[in-house]
C-alpha cells in the first residue's frame, strides 16, 4: 500500500527512461500518488524527469510538479517554454499552487507565462494572488471556494454548488455571502442534509464564522487554525469581502517550516537548508554562526590573557576552563529554549519578565548547587589544591546563575522589540556565556588564590 | 474578533467568580470559543474554574475541558465525582477525546468513571480505544465516522448519513464499506451532489483510498497525512475492517509535539516541559544534561592535566582553549542537526552514510579553512608566538573536520539502530567534541612547540 522508494525501483525506472519505453514507464508510476512520483522525480536529472513527465496526463503531471522539491522544479521548468508551462501546468493547478509556482520564476519568465494562460479567470486570480506578501494570509490562500448567496434556497444552493464543485478538489466549508460578497457565515453540509430543499439559506446558515484579514501574518494564521481546530479559514479584505480560503494542509507546511527554522537557528544554521543542498548553500548557512563563535573565542582568549600572570603561577586553573565555558553555554541554551518555545506556542501565561527571571533563577539555584557540590567533591578528592576546588565550585555556581538569567532575558527582550527570539538561542547565547563565564572564573580565581 | 486574554479581563472575571454572579459570568464568556475559555480557565485556580464551569452548558463545558492544559484539567477533575465526570463530560465528548481524558485519570477513577457512563455504546467505544497504545494510529483515532454500505443507493445513503451526521461535528469523508465492515473506498460529497438519487453507491464510489493499520506509529501517520495532503485517514484492523478515523487536527498536534521534542533535545531538555511547569519538573528535565556536560568538563580537565608541563612553559596555550572547545561544539551541533532534520522529514534521498560523510567533510573543509585563516591572521598580528599561531590554526582546522564527521556519523548510526537520532544533538555532541577538540589542540601544540 505504502510506496517506498528503493534503489532497485529507481534503476528499473531509469532503464525505461533511457529506452524511452512509454508502456513500462506508465506501468511503473500508474499506481503511485503524485507525491510519490515527485519523490522519484527528485532523484532524477531534469532531462530524465522530462521523459517521465511526458507519459503522464496534464492533471497528474501538474500535481506531481507541486510536490517536487523547489530546486528540482526549477531545474525542470528551465527545460520548458513559457507556453508549455502555462498550458501544461498552470491551467491545471489551483490558483494558490499556480501562484506559488509562478512566483518562483524569474520576472521575465513570469510575465511570459501569465500571458500564455488560456483560462483568463485563472490568470486574473493568479495576478491577484501574486500581489500579496508571501508570508501572509493572502500568500497562503486559494481563490477556489464554494459560496452561496444568503437569499437562495437549499435547492438553488445545491444547483450552484454542483457547478462550483466541479472546479474544486475538497469541499471543506460552504461560505454564505450577501450580494456584495460580504462574508456572513457558513452553511454546514449537515444542515443541508437535514433540511428540506425549499428552506432558505438565510434561515439555516451559521453566522458564527472565524476569518482572517488578507494581510495577517502566516504564523498567526497557523496559530488560529491550530487553536480552534479549523480545517479551512476564509480570508477577507478590509471591508469584509470574501477573497479566498486557507486550508489546513498549507498551514501544516507553515507549522513545520517555523519549527524547523527555530531548530536550525538553535543549532547555528540560518535559512531552510537540507542535507541534499549544495556544499556552497550549506556553508553559507553555517559559516556566519561559526564566525560568531570564532569572535567569541578571541574575546575569551583576551580575557584569559588578562590573567596570564595567575596562570603562570597556578597552571591548574587552566584545567577547568572548558568545564566553565561548556556549562555556561549549556545552561544558557536551556533557558532560552524554554522561553523561545513558550513564545512560539503562546503558552507563556500572563506573568511578566520578572516572574520568569525569578523562576529561572530558582531552577538555576538548584541546578547550580547540585553541579557545584559534585565538582567540589571531585576536586576535593582528586586535586591537591583546595583553592582550586573552591574556585571552580564557586565559579560554576555563579556561571550557572548568570547564564540562566541571561538566557531567559535575551529572548524576552528580543521578542519585546519584535525581533525573532530564536536568534538568541544557539551559538549566540553559547558564545556570550562562554566569555562571561571565563570572566567570572578568573576573577574568582584571582581573588581566592591571592587571599 | 480575535480574543486576547488581558489582566483586566481576568480581574473582572475573578470578581464575578467571587460574587458568584452568574449573569455577569455568562456575559463574559458567552461569545468566546471553548479554546479561549480554556485559556482563561488555565489561569484560574481549580475552585475558581469550578464556578465558571457551572454556568456553562454540558456540551460547551466538555469542549472547554478538552482544550485545558493537562495539569489544569487534572486539578479541576480532582474536584468532581466519577459520576459528575461521566455525565457532565464523557457523555458529551467524541470517543477519542473521551478516551484521552479517561487515560489521564488514575486506574481507580478510570473504572469508576467508565461504570457511570450512561451511553453504553460510548462506554464500549472508549474501552476499545483505551486498549490501543497512545502513540499509535489506534491511540489517535476516533470511532465516530460516516460510513455507507456499498449496496445502498444515493437516496438510502443520504438518509442514513443524516442519522449518523447528528452525532458528528465535521464530515470529512464518507467511507464505503461492505456488509462485513471491510473498507472499500470513499464516497466524494461532490459525487453525491452530481449524481441522481437512485444511483448505486457501488457505481459512483472511489475505490482509491489510503488507510493505516491500527498499530501504525503516530509519527508515520503524521508523515502520511502530510505527504498526501489528507484531512482524514481511516484506520483498519489486520483483516481490513474499518475501525475509526484520524483527523488532521490530531495530527497537527503530533507534528508540533515531535518538532518540540527535537528542539528540546537539541537544547538539552528532556520531555515536554513548559515555562509554566514547576521548578522541580524543570530541574528534572535539565539537570541530567548538565551532568553530562559536567562529566565532559572533568574529562577535559584530565586531558589538559596531561599537558600541564607544556602549559607551565607556554601558558599562552591556555588562551585558546575556549575557542577550540566552542568551535568543536558548534560545528558538531550543526552537522548533527542537518542529519536529524533530514531523517525527520524523510528528505535524505537515497544516498548512503558514506556520501553524507563525504559531503559534510567538504563543507567542513571550507568552513575550517576560512576559520583557520582568520585565526592565523589574528594571531600573526596580535600575538608574539608564531608557534601558537600555527598550533591554533592547525588545531582549529582539524577540530572542525573531526567535529563535522562525528556530528554526522552519530545520528546516522543511532537511527540505524532505531534509537532517536535527536538524542545525539545538543549537550552530548557538544561535550564529546569539546573533549576531542582539547586532545587535538594539545597534541598539536605539544608537537609544534617541541620541534
| pLDDT for res B323 | 92
- Burial degree of B449 (CB within 10 A; 0-12, 13-18, 19+): middle
- CA B114 to CA B292: how far, in whole Å? 45
- pLDDT tens by residue, A212-234: 999 999 989 998 998 888 888 99
pLDDT at B1 over 60: no
Portion 304-333 of B in contact with A at CB < 8 A: 304-305, 308, 311-312, 315-316, 318-327, 329-331, 333
pLDDT grade for A169, boundaries at 50, 70 and 90: low
Mean pLDDT (whole number) for B229-256: 89
Grid coordinates in use for A138? Answer: 493572502
Give the residue among B178, B177, B176, B180 at the shortest CA–CA distance from B191.
Answer: B176
Query: Quick one: pLDDT band at residue B272, thresholds 50, 70, 90?
Result: confident
Q: Which of the four pLDDT bands, split at 50, 70 and 90, describes residue B451?
A: low
pLDDT at position B376: 94
Contact A318 B311 (CB under 8 A): yes
pLDDT at A28 over 80: yes
| Inter-residue contact A437 to A328 (CB < 8 Å) | yes
**Residue A373 in contact with partner chain B when CB distance is under 8 A:** no
Strand partners, A206: A186
Mean residue pLDDT of chain A comes to: 86
Question: CA B139, CA B142: separation in Å to the nearest integer?
Answer: 9
Q: Which residues contact B24 (CB under 8 A, 6 or more apart)?
A: B16
Tell me which of 1.10.357.20, 3.30.70.1350, 1.20.80.30, 3.30.420.40 is the CATH number of domain A279-450: 1.10.357.20
Report chain B's mean pLDDT, rounded to a whole number: 86
> A147 near A176, Cβ under 8 Å?
yes
**How many angstroms separate the CA atoms of A208 and B166, rounded?**
19
Give kind and range of the element (H or E) at residue B20.
none
- Which pLDDT score, from 0 to 100, does residue A349 have? 63
The full set of domain ranges for chain A reads 7-135, 146-247, 279-450
Mean pLDDT, range A357-373, rounded to an integer:
90
B162, B229, B351: which to substitute to probe chain A, counting the most A Cβ within 10 Å?
A: B229
Section A80-100 average pLDDT: 86
What distance in Å separates the CA atoms of residue A193 and residue B165, rounded to the nearest whole number? 9
**pLDDT the model gives residue A428:** 82
What integer pLDDT is reported at residue A216 of this predicted model? 93
The three state secondary structure string of chain A is CCCCCCHHHHHHHHHHHHCCCHHHHHHHHCCCCHHHHHHHHHHCCHHHHHHHHHCCCHHHHHHHHHHCCHHHHHHHHCCCCHHHHHHHCHHHCCHHHHHHHHHCCCHHHHHHHHHHCCCHHHHHHHHHHHCCCCCEHHHHCECCCEEEECCCEHHHHHHHHHHHHCCCCCCCCEEEECCCCEEEEEECHHHHHHCCCCCEHHHHCECCCCCEECCCEHHHHHHHHHHCCCCEEEEECCCCEEEEEEEHHHHHHHHHHHHHHHHHHHCCCCCCCCCCCCHHHHHHHHHHHHHHHHHHHHHHHHHHHHCHHHHHHCHHHHHHHHHHHHHHHHHHHHHHHHHHHHHHCCCCCCCCHHHHHHHHHHHHHHHHHHHHHHHHHHHHHHCCCHHHHHHHHHHHHHHHHHHHHHHHHHHHHHHHCCCCHHHHCCHHHHHHHHHHHHHHHHHHHHHHHHC
- Contact between A37 and A64 (Cβ < 8 Å): yes
- Give residue A282's pLDDT band: very low, low, confident or very high (50, 70, 90): confident
B228 vs A34: CA distance, rounded Å: 8
Per-residue pLDDT tens digits for B339-381: 888 887 776 666 667 777 888 889 999 999 999 999 999 999 9
Residue B194 near residue A163, CB atoms below 8 Å: no
Range 39-98 of A in CB contact (< 8 A) with B = 42-43, 69
Task: Give me the percent of chain A exceeding a pLDDT of 70.
Answer: 96
Confidence bin at B217 (pLDDT 50/70/90): very high
Which of B267, B277, B351, B411 should we substitute to test contact with A (largest number of A Cβ atoms within 10 Å)? B267
Identify any residues that bridge with B187 across adjacent strands, giving them in sequence order: B174
Residue A189 has pLDDT above 90, yes or no: no
B394–chain A nearest CA distance, Å: 14
Q: What does pTM read for this prediction?
A: 0.79
Tens of pLDDT, residue by residue over A120-140, are 888 888 888 888 988 899 999
Q: Which residues of B touch A249 (CB under 8 A)?
A: 226, 229, 231, 248
pLDDT in tens, A374-398: 999 999 998 888 888 999 999 999 9
Task: Check: CB of residue A404 under 8 Å from CB of residue B267.
Answer: no
In the predicted structure, residue B291 carries a pLDDT above the cut 80: yes
| Amino acid A390: pLDDT | 92
Q: Model confidence at A158, in pLDDT bands (50, 70, 90)?
A: confident
- Pick the more confident residue, A244 or A188: A244
In angstroms, the CA A345 to CA B222 distance is 20
Which residue out of A263, A292, A439 would a mutagenesis test of the B interface target, given it has the greatest number of B Cβ atoms within 10 Å? A263
In the sheet that holds B242-247, the strands lie side by side as B212-213, B232-236, B242-247
A300/B282 CB distance under 8 A: no
- Looking at domain A7-135, its CATH superfamily turns out to be MgtE N-terminal domain-like (1.25.60.10)
Mean pLDDT for B42-70 is: 86
B385/chain A closest Cα distance in angstroms: 13
For B152-178, how does the pLDDT look when each residue is reduced to its tens digit (9 = 90+)? 998 888 888 877 776 666 667 889 999
What is the dotted CATH code of the domain comprising B146-247? 3.10.580.10
Q: What integer pLDDT is reported at residue B169 of this predicted model?
A: 63
Those residues with Cβ within 8 angstroms of residue B78's Cβ, 6 or more apart along the chain or in another chain: B46
pLDDT at B105 over 70: yes
Which bin fits A76, alpha (ψ -120 to 50), beta or left (φ > 0)?
alpha
Between β-strands A232-236 and A212-213, what pairing exists: parallel, antiparallel or unpaired?
parallel
- What's the rounded Cα separation, in Å, for the pair A163 and B194? 9
Q: Which of B388, B334, B404, B323 has its CA nearest to residue A322?
A: B323
Find the helix or strand (DSSP H, E) in which B352 lies: none
Asked whether the beta carbons of residue A194 and residue B224 sit closer than 8 angstroms, the reply is: no
A119: how many CB neighbours lie within 10 A of its CB?
13
Q: What is the pLDDT of residue A185?
A: 93
> Model confidence over B390-420: pLDDT tens digits?
999 999 999 999 999 999 888 888 888 888 8
What CA–CA distance (Å, rounded) separates A127 from A146? 21
How many whole angstroms separate alpha carbon B187 and alpha carbon A334?
50
Check if A287 contacts B (Cβ < 8 Å): yes
Strand B212-213 relative to strand A232-236, pairing: unpaired
As a whole number of angstroms, the distance between CA B351 and CA B365 comes to 21
Mean pLDDT of A235-247: 92
Question: B177 versus A253: which is more confidently predicted?
Answer: B177
User: What are the residues facing A174 on neighbouring strands?
Assistant: A146, A187
* Domains A146-247 and A279-450 in one fold: no
Cell of A155: 435547492
Residue B108 φ then ψ, to 5°: -60, -55
The pLDDT value given to residue A184? 95
Amino acid at each position: 500500500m505504502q510506496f517506498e522508494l528503493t534503489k532497485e525501483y529507481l534503476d528499473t525506472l531509469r532503464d525505461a527512461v533511457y529506452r524511452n519505453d512509454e508502456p513500462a514507464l506508465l506501468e511503473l508510476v500508474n499506481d503511485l500518488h503524485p507525491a510519490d512520483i515527485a519523490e522519484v522525480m527528485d532523484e532524477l536529472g531534469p532531462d530524465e524527469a522530462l521523459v517521465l513527465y511526458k507519459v503522464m496526463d496534464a492533471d497528474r503531471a501538474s500535481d506531481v510538479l507541486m510536490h517536487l522539491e523547489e530546486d528540482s522544479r526549477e531545474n525542470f521548468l528551465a527545460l520548458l517554454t513559457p507556453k508549455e508551462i502555462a498550458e501544461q501546468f498552470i491551467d491545471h493547478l489551483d490558483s494558490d499552487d499556480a501562484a506559488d509556482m509562478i512566483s518562483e520564476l524569474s520576472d521575465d519568465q513570469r510575465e511570459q507565462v501569465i500571458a500564455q494562460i488560456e483560462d483568463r479567470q485563472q490568470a486574473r486570480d493568479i495576478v491577484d494572488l501574486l500581489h500579496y506578501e508571501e508570508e501572509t494570509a493572502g500568500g497562503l490562500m486559494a481563490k477556489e471556494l464554494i459560496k452561496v448567496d444568503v437569499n437562495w434556497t437549499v435547492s438553488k444552493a445545491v444547483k450552484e454548488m454542483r457547478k462550483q464543485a466541479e472546479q474544486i478538489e475538497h469541499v471543506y466549508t460552504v461560505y454564505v455571502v450577501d450580494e456584495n460578497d460580504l462574508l456572513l457565515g457558513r452553511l454546514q453540509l449537515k444542515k443541508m442534509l437535514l433540511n428540506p430543499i425549499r428552506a432558505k439559506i438565510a434561515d439555516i446558515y451559521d453566522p458564527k464564522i472565524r476569518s482572517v484579514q488578507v494581510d495577517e501574518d502566516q504564523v498567526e494564521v497557523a496559530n488560529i487554525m491550530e487553536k480552534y481546530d479549523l480545517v479551512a479559514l476564509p480570508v477577507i479584505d478590509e471591508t469584509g469581502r470574501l477573497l479566498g480560503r486557507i486550508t489546513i494542509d498549507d498551514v501544516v507546511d507553515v507549522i513545520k517550516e517555523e519549527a524547523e527554522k527555530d531548530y536550525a537557528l538553535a543549532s547555528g544554521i540560518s535559512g531552510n537548508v537540507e542535507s541534499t543542498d549544495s556544499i556552497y548553500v550549506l556553508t553559507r548557512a553555517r559559516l556566519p554562526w561559526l564566525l560568531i563563535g570564532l569572535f567569541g573565542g578571541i574575546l575569551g582568549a583576551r580575557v584569559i590573557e588578562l590573567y596570564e600572570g595567575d596562570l603562570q603561577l597556578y597552571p591548574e586553573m587552566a584545567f577547568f576552563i572548558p568545564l566553565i565555558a561548556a556549562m555556561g553555554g549549556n545552561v544558557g541554551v536551556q533557558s532560552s529554549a524554554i522561553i523561545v518555545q513558550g513564545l512560539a506556542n503562546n503558552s507563556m501565561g500572563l506573568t511578566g519578565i520578572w516572574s520568569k527571571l525569578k523562576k529561572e533563577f530558582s531552577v538555576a539555584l538548584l541546578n547550580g548547587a547540585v553541579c557545584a557540590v559534585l565538582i567540589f567533591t571531585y576536586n576535593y578528592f582528586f586535586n591537591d589544591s583546595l583553592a582550586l576546588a573552591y574556585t571552580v565550585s564557586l565559579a560554576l555556581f555563579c556561571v550557572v546563575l548568570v547564564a540562566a538569567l541571561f538566557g531567559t532575558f535575551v529572548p524576552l527582550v528580543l521578542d519585546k522589540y519584535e525581533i525573532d527570539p530564536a536568534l538568541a538561542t544557539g551559538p549566540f547565547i553559547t558564545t556570550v556565556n562562554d566569555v562571561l563565564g571565563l570572566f567570572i572564573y578568573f576573577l574568582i580565581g584571582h581573588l581566592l588564590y591571592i587571599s
